[in-house]
Structure 1
């Protein structure tokens, strides 16, 4: 999972960095560093993110597409 996809996850789920961090057990600054790819997203963190998405009935492909659409229309 890349940092840009993590941002898309937050866009689509309407979660702040802090909220997502709380859900997966990391700090807001860790989320920011993952998004900027300053630090790697560890496999166990990816699993927790996938669990958050699964609880919301979202899949990786949907996140990408919805994230791109939301960004596009946000700029309009």
Structure 2
């Protein structure tokens, strides 16, 4: 999962950085840093985000489609 996917899906779910951080047990500043690319996404944090998104109804396939759309949008 990359920073664009995380930010887009978080916003799509109506979650603030603070809410996402709280739900997965990290500080909201880490979410901000991950989304801006100033911090690396650690495997444990990535898995927590994937699990939460899955619980909110976002499947791996959904995330893949979202990533493809975001990449296509960047290319335009």
**The two structures share one fold, judged by TM-score above 0.5:** yes
- Report the 3-state secondary structure (helix = DSSP H, G, I; strand = E; otherwise coil) of the residue aligned with 2:57: coil
| TM-score (ref. length: structure 2) | 0.76
Deviation at residue 61 of structure 1 after TM alignment: 4.1
Runs of 4 or more above 6 Å deviation: none
Could you list the runs of 5+ residues in structure 2 that have no partner in the other structure?
Answer: 71-76
In the other structure, the counterpart of 1:7 is 7
Report the RMSD for the aligned CA atoms in angstroms.
Answer: 1.8
Could you list the runs of 5+ residues in structure 1 that have no partner in the other structure?
Answer: 69-76
In the other structure, the counterpart of 2:22 is 22
